[in-house]
Amino acid sequence: MSQVNRLAAGGRIDRSKPMSFSFNGKTFQGFHGDTLASALLANGVGIVGRSFKYSRARGILGHGAEEPNALMQLHQGNAAVPNPRATQVELFDGLVSGSTNGWPSVEFDLMEWVGKIGGKLMPPGFYYKTFMAPQKMWMTYEKFIRKAAGFGKLSLEPDPDTYDKLNVHCDVMVVGAGPAGLAAALEAGRSGKRVIIVDEQNEFGGTLLASNQTVDGVDAAAWAEQATTELVGMANVTVMPRTTAFGYYDHNFVCALERRTDHISPVSVSGSRQRLHRIRAHQVILATGAIERPLVFGNNDLPGIMLANSVSTYINRYAVVPGHRCIVMTTNDTGYQTALDIQAAGRTVVAVVDSRHAPDGRLVQAAKAAGIEVMTGHGVIEAQGSQRVTGAIVAPLDETGDKLTGTGKTLSCDLIAVAGGWSPVVHLSCHTGSRPVWQDDVAGFVPGPTIQNQHLAGAITGEYRLSEALNAGIKAGAAAAGTESAQVFNCGDESEGAAQALYLVPHTKPSSRAPKQFVDFQNDVTAAGIELAAREGFQSIEHVKRYTAMGFGTDQGKTGNVNGMAIVAKTLNKSIAETGTTIFRPAYTPVTFGALGGRDIGVLLDPARHTAMHPWHLANGAAFENVGQWKRPWYFPQAGETMQQTLNRECLAVRNSVGILDASTLGKIDIQGKDAREFLNRVYTNAWSKLAPGKCRYGLMLKEDGMIFDDGVTACLNDQHFLMTTTSGGAAAVLGWLELWHQTEWPELEVYFTSVTDQWATCSFAGPNSRKVLEKLCTDVDLCAEAMKFMDYREGTVAGIQSRIFRISFTGELSFEVNVPADQGHYMWKKLMEAGEEFGITPYGTESMHVLRAEKGFIIAGQDTDGSMTPYDCLMGWAVGKTKEFSFLGERSFSRPDTARADRKQLVGLKPKDPTVVIPEGSQIVMDPNQPIPMDMMGHVTSSYWSECLGHGIAMGTVKGGSERMGETVYCPQADGRVLAAEICSPVFYDPKGDHHND
């Protein structure tokens, strides 16, 4: 197919490199240097998609990030990319593209008829109003609404590409490589500062690349090339094209997305597809330019209506003229340049329609001199056509542009270029919380005051002349680099006429009856819709936004916001400055999740911590459980076992002979110093003053509100040296907690904390035969019951390794823990397995550990407690020192009225009435299952297991006033309708006197 709109010469495309691509199944030709949009326009493709709400035919409006309509579905299979803008997709040979919606096709779309018939019936808030009731049906409605509206489709297969991230620092970060950005980077770069300059396009230069102007006598595009070459040559300057600074965060932190291979192939052939740059800059220069505003008139969304500046860009940069008979509708001088460009390209300019009554700028005169018909004091009030614009109704306007002063006439055309003035790209400046301010002389919002080290240059400040952009760039570069420069550029663009602010072109009918006048193309928001929202009482611009969806989505109001806000202001009889603007948030343009994830996916998502014995666990078929970042053996299944059978076997082995557990993950904090003992007194509930060397004690740690926060056993190694253990998940928090109190309240105490969790490996073996196992390996410590009592600590040699031996128990059985330096942990484990073989030593995991401890009623902080349980609530008043001199953390809170209440939720044991039942953990507890919903909830089940050694289910839970309710029956209603009954009992189900662990 021929490129009907391609010029024979000119542009920055490479005609020697033709490229074939497909769009909606048809094959087309383009050239290297094209965007998908310029190639589609070259081939005369008009309709590229269907609108979001009304399914109207839509064509390409812009040429860059502002494009609201041309959202594409790119590539196939696992490489599919939904929703990139055709204007930002660089063409490559074999590119497969399509529209994101339209059924059965974009040319003939059935939903359009729904839009046409139902359009009047779909005002803003339509969904809220129509589908509000019944509420539970919303999920059903939503499914269909989303389907009808949806944009692109994701692949459900894994992404075949890799992505990465880079942390970067620089002195000066320049965002945008148009004239202002290039000048700024040159100035800063020449000073020797470390400079990064990014631009979202493939080539640096911005508007210079499509300009007919000159810079100091040099052709604008040539000047851009020179400047870029100079920047690339500076070792201190990093030049990044195809890189979008999408977010500007606190303290001059900028995130930029570099598209490394998107322009080459669907999937990167080598290296990462995209890279996220996390840039911390001393100074940031925003040279982000401005976006042209469309004009709001009837049917202004027809394909063939484009931004004037985009038309010029397609002609000058891509050698594509997207129409044959063109009307330019403008409110300022820049539209005339487009008319001149169209004429120079050999196509017909039907007329320039200028809303101003007496324009007289340099470009106006040039257009008149070129013989172009200029209709001043007129406006296009309505476009005609169904699938593409075929004509325009042009009517005379009054001086203000508010009213029609006569009847219109119809001009035939196939392209309307609209120049509605410019909106500075203030998005990034808003990301850090700075509110943009309205400036009447600019007829736009410009960046407001900020606390960032931020500089502005060029069109972002509302100064649109090329010479001003360059000169402001030099100034900003000098200010950011701390240099001075007197360089001034001359572009011969001094005289330009004043622009007129025209946000809604009047129609013979009111907006509500006129053909749809679109403000936000991507979200199908019309002038009538905005006026209706204002009339319905939405006065805050933020509310109007949410009610109409104006400025939502990937568009972020780039083309529509200012027109929309002006319409709101006018409806409310306020100024735009009074109405204000919504705030733009990151990201400026969409960012792939792949880039945000980078390499931090899969196994690298979060570090996994392995104990020294991990290889043994793997080799012996352990099933693992995540405990914080630790991988802990959960249970050790043998062939043919169900999980419950494994647990039963493991638990019985501990109760009847000996089992072994890898307890290395328990947090271990080494505490030293002459005041270590006093410190423990203050942070633990119980007394530590008299704990002798060689003894261990269980301690409860509370927050100041009296609630349990962590627990563990601490051993006294000597008078100034203690070893504290914490829960596996709480180790870091406990260390931070100890440091907090030491550093902020008690710096006078001489005490030092060191995390030694990773330095020691811990083998915990429990059961009546555990002593016999240890005796085989340890000969230099007297292990007999009289010499080494329960809660004793010894140092000795086990299997030839200097070890720390604790006689402590979390199972209720006779139990020892042997700590060895981590690099010997695996060896020690194997030695204990060998020594225990004759007793059938059985490795067990965390699940059996939970069962064994629950049989004994031992709590797990964080499972049986949830930050609202005092020691008394857990029936652990025995662990609270009553006569301690120092008011330990949390003690004072015991006497607060709420903490002292008798009917607080207290920890109890629960014995299911049906012994075969295991009540699901988390079940709610009620006293009367027959009461109406919502029931009076008394507590919940915190731990629940099958106890093989007891032959029935056991549970722990919290119940209001539970300690006074022993023997009462409670009920746990289930989601499936069952009601499980249980009797409140002591949580100590097994060996209540503790004979076993004292053996």
- The footprint of another protein (CB under 8 A) covers 249-253, 280, 432-433, 451, 704-705, 732, 736, 739-740, 743-745, 747, 887, 891-893, 895-897
| Of residues 251 and 513, the one with the C-beta less far from another protein | 251
Alpha-carbon 252 to chain mean position = 19
Instruction: Supply the minimum distance, in Å, between the C-beta of residue 596 and another protein.
Output: 14
Instruction: Supply the minimum distance, in Å, between the C-beta of residue 453 and another protein.
Output: 11
Q: Which DSSP category does 556 fall into?
A: T
Number of DSSP helices (H) and strands (E) in the chain, helices first: 25, 49
Instruction: Supply the minimum distance, in Å, between the C-beta of residue 898 and another protein.
Output: 9
β-strand 969-973 against 979-985: which pairing, if any? Answer: antiparallel
Contact call for residues 387 and 58 (beta carbons, < 8 A): no
Contact call for residues 397 and 330 (beta carbons, < 8 A): no
Distance set, CA 841 to CA 616, 621, 663 (Å):
15, 16, 16
| Of residues 704 and 795, the one with the C-beta less far from another protein | 704
Contact call for residues 287 and 176 (beta carbons, < 8 A): yes
Q: Which DSSP category does 920 fall into?
A: P
Residue 761's φ and ψ, nearest 5 degrees, are -105, 140
| Of residues 433 and 510, the one with the C-beta less far from another protein | 433
| Of residues 136 and 882, the one with the C-beta less far from another protein | 882
| Helices within 119-167 (DSSP H only) | 126-130, 138-149
For helices 770-777 and 825-836, the axis angle rounded to 10 degrees is 120
Alpha-carbon 876 to chain mean position = 43
Tokens 């890799």 belong to which residue? Answer: 162
Instruction: Supply the minimum distance, in Å, between the C-beta of residue 709 and another protein.
Output: 14
CB atoms within 10 A of CB 935: 16
Distance set, CA 247 to CA 352, 473, 588, 822 (Å):
39, 21, 7, 45
CB atoms within 10 A of CB 881: 16
Instruction: Supply the minimum distance, in Å, between the C-beta of residue 969 and another protein.
Output: 37
Distance separating alpha carbons of residues 643 and 850, to the nearest angstrom: 14
- Give the CA count within 13 Å in the CB-facing half-sphere of 107: 5
Instruction: Supply the minimum distance, in Å, between the C-beta of residue 237 and another protein.
Output: 23
Nearest to 289 by CA among 447, 418, 478, 431: 447
Contact call for residues 576 and 566 (beta carbons, < 8 A): yes
| Of residues 702 and 713, the one with the C-beta less far from another protein | 702
| Of residues 543 and 884, the one with the C-beta less far from another protein | 884
Nearest to 272 by CA among 634, 597, 667, 614: 597
Instruction: Supply the minimum distance, in Å, between the C-beta of residue 23 and another protein.
Output: 41
| Of residues 160 and 433, the one with the C-beta less far from another protein | 433
Instruction: Supply the minimum distance, in Å, between the C-beta of residue 604 and another protein.
Output: 16
| Of residues 144 and 886, the one with the C-beta less far from another protein | 886
User: 286 - beta bridge partners?
Assistant: 175, 456
Longest Cα separation, the chain: 115
Instruction: Supply the minimum distance, in Å, between the C-beta of residue 876 and another protein.
Output: 21
| Of residues 371 and 897, the one with the C-beta less far from another protein | 897
Instruction: Supply the minimum distance, in Å, between the C-beta of residue 283 and another protein.
Output: 13
| Of residues 898 and 936, the one with the C-beta less far from another protein | 898
Distance set, CA 160 to CA 163, 594, 977 (Å):
10, 10, 46
Instruction: Supply the minimum distance, in Å, between the C-beta of residue 741 and another protein.
Output: 9
Instruction: Say which residues have a Cβ less than 8 Å from residue 955's Cβ, sequence separation at least 6.
Output: 854, 909, 910, 911, 912, 918, 919, 921, 941, 943, 944, 945, 982
Contact call for residues 828 and 800 (beta carbons, < 8 A): no
| Of residues 17 and 892, the one with the C-beta less far from another protein | 892
| Of residues 217 and 449, the one with the C-beta less far from another protein | 449
Instruction: Supply the minimum distance, in Å, between the C-beta of residue 744 and another protein.
Output: 6
| Of residues 126 and 249, the one with the C-beta less far from another protein | 249
Instruction: Supply the minimum distance, in Å, between the C-beta of residue 887 and another protein.
Output: 4
Three-state helix/strand/coil letters over 423-440: EECCHHHHHCCCCCEEEC
Instruction: Supply the minimum distance, in Å, between the C-beta of residue 243 and another protein.
Output: 19
| Of residues 705 and 991, the one with the C-beta less far from another protein | 705
